[in-house]
Amino acid sequence: MKHKIIFLLTLLLHTAVYSQQNIDRYIPETDPLVLLKLEQWQDLKFGLLMHWGPYSQWGIVESWSICSEDEGWCRRKSENYTDYKKEYENLQKTFNPVHFDPVRWARAAKEAGMKYLVFTTKHHDGFCMFDTKHTDYKITDKKTPFNTNPLANITKEIFDAFRAEGLWTGAYFSKPDWHSEYYWWPNFATPDRNVNYSVNNYPERWEKFVQYTHNQIMELMTDYGKLDILWLDGGWVKKRSDDEVKKAYANMNTEKPARIQNQDIRMDELVKKAREKQPGLIVVDRAVYGKNQNYLTPENTVPGEALPYPWESCIISGGGWSWTAEAKYMSGRKAVHMLVDIVAKGGNLLLNIAPGPDGRWDEGAYKLLEEIGEWLDINSEAIYGTRAIKPYKEGKICYTSKGKNKIFAIYLLEEGEEIPGEISIGGIEIPRGSRIQILGVESKVKWRRSGDYYNITVPKDKIPSCLAFTLKINLMR
């Protein structure tokens, strides 16, 4: 008995500490316009992420092969780094995605049920997919063959097309820039992903980098219509106090040298300026603890539990973040189950599709989107505008809720699983007189209480999808 109590107390303490840590990771916003927008963003549930640039021509991992860290995703095909980097930069001269058709993408995303878009306007390699005035390493420069195409300002075309279909638009922007001499100064070698000179010794150079970053982001905020999200990647570019720098060095694995410095790009000032142009703008300074990270972004994973702050899982749908030859896409079943799981835990799914070098999406991507769209056509009510509700997920059943009177229980069907004639749900209270219906099926279903559970009869032959079906429970209050 004593042991049991100690065990329970320890468990409680763990849970309390864990939840506290979770909440501590998030600093709520105070700007009422941003708060409103974040609330609306949490209704959207499903978005599209795209990684695209000259690197797509080689079907390699975006940007990382010009970084000298000895990580799997940085490995390059060439023996000689210097030659490789030159060839990599020359990719600009052959990038000509003549089949680029943003209107078709936007339509497919909309039909799939996606409600927002995040596009790589600039990845770590520094190549700009927009018409910036501040570098010639860009899609609209005369060295890039696509510059003469009427759709040359790719970012603008994409934002316009998706906005026209009613989607929100978001700019992915990498804070580190491996092409800028203000970040990787050619005077020094480039040992890793960080700024390669001492910011303390060369403050004027760093200041130029800060100005460069501010100028580019302000171009995006000013010349590209209404923007909803600024999604900043490269969390190592951040302000660090002297103490933090010292601590980071102390914890450093010396075999993997990292140049940890205060890389302050004056985010508060930048965000203030950005919101003057784009009131209510959601800012996601990824992986940087503080109020400029309006939501958190677990990367290519789905958290095991509901999280007590706004969040979004970004997930690869096939291949890598950027285009790879013969990418295998996840099944519609997997995507739908993932979306449901995420929504039940209170998050959004940002699904990545990688455009190919010629400006096309793989057929596999379209097929996947169609399958998701078909399911959402029937079950959208259980997804959009819902909020998480305990017990979130129990076995094959995920719960969502809308207002006080509606609960949805979504049953995830495995491949080849026979639809059950009856299911049992627990963990929620269904008062007598409540009505239960299956989305896509007109007639009401029978249910009865059995102890702490409710047994619900499922009209097996009428279930409209073999991926998952939804019980809509209208609670009698």
> Shortest approach of ligand GLC to residue 353 CB, angstroms?
13
- In angstroms, the CA 142 to CA 160 distance is 23
Q: DSSP state, 55?
A: G
Nearer to ligand GLC (CB atom), residue 46 or residue 375? 46
Q: If binding is defined by CB under 6 A, does position 119 make contact with ligand GLC?
A: no
Nearer to ligand GLC (CB atom), residue 183 or residue 469? 183
> Shortest approach of ligand GLC to residue 474 CB, angstroms?
39
Binding to ligand GLC (CB under 6 A) within 26-65 occurs at: 51, 62
Task: Match 């390493």 to its residue by tokens.
Answer: 137
Residue 450 near residue 424, CB atoms below 8 Å: yes
- In angstroms, the CA 461 to CA 472 distance is 18
Nearer to ligand GLC (CB atom), residue 178 or residue 321? 321
Q: If binding is defined by CB under 6 A, does position 327 make contact with ligand GLC?
A: no
Among 44, 314, 336, 456, binds ligand GLC (CB under 6 A): 314
Q: What character string, x for contact with ligand GLC (CB under 6 A) and - otherwise, covers 353-372?
A: --------------------
Q: If binding is defined by CB under 6 A, does position 351 make contact with ligand GLC?
A: no
Q: How far is CA 86 from the centre of its chain?
A: 31
Residue of 327, 373, 354 whose CA lies nearest to 467: 373
Nearer to ligand GLC (CB atom), residue 216 or residue 322? 322
Q: If binding is defined by CB under 6 A, does position 285 make contact with ligand GLC?
A: no
Q: Which residues of 195-213 are buried (b: 16+ CB within 10 A; e: fewer)?
A: bbbebeebeebbeebbebb
> What is the radius of gyration, based on Cα positions, of the chain?
24
At 250, the amino acid letter reads A
Q: For the chain, give the number of residues.
A: 477
Nearer to ligand GLC (CB atom), residue 179 or residue 393? 179
Nearer to ligand GLC (CB atom), residue 51 or residue 393? 51
Contacts of 317 (CB under 8 A, 6+ apart): 329, 330, 335, 351, 352, 353, 365, 368
Q: Which two tokens stand for residue 459?
A: 């009209």
Residue 263 near residue 195, CB atoms below 8 Å: yes
- In angstroms, the CA 64 to CA 77 distance is 12
Task: Match 């100690």 to its residue by tokens.
Answer: 6
> Shortest approach of ligand GLC to residue 231 CB, angstroms?
9
DSSP string, 65-86: GGS-S--GGG--S-S-HHHHHH
Task: Match 């519609």 to its residue by tokens.
Answer: 332
Q: What character string, x for contact with ligand GLC (CB under 6 A) and - otherwise, covers 62-81?
A: x-------------------
> Shortest approach of ligand GLC to residue 66 CB, angstroms?
12
Q: If binding is defined by CB under 6 A, does position 233 make contact with ligand GLC?
A: yes
Nearer to ligand GLC (CB atom), residue 323 or residue 399? 323
Q: How many CA atoms lie less than 13 Å away from 273 in the CB half-sphere?
A: 16
Distances (CA, A) of 241 to 247, 261, 269, 448: 10, 9, 18, 61
Q: What character string, x for contact with ligand GLC (CB under 6 A) and - otherwise, covers 188-227?
A: ----------------------------------------
Q: What character string, x for contact with ligand GLC (CB under 6 A) and - otherwise, covers 241-280?
A: ----------------------------------------
- In angstroms, the CA 376 to CA 332 distance is 11
Q: Which two tokens stand for residue 158?
A: 């994409």
Q: If binding is defined by CB under 6 A, does position 321 make contact with ligand GLC?
A: yes
Nearer to ligand GLC (CB atom), residue 349 or residue 398? 349
DSSP string, 88-104: HHHGGGG---TT--HHH
Binding to ligand GLC (CB under 6 A) within 91-110 occurs at: none
> Shortest approach of ligand GLC to residue 62 CB, angstroms?
5
- In angstroms, the CA 86 to CA 68 distance is 14
Among 83, 299, 305, 358, binds ligand GLC (CB under 6 A): 299
# chain residues binding ligand GLC, by CB under 6 A: 6
> Shortest approach of ligand GLC to residue 379 CB, angstroms?
27
Q: If binding is defined by CB under 6 A, does position 177 make contact with ligand GLC?
A: no
Contacting residues toward ligand GLC, per CB under 6 A:
51, 62, 233, 299, 314, 321
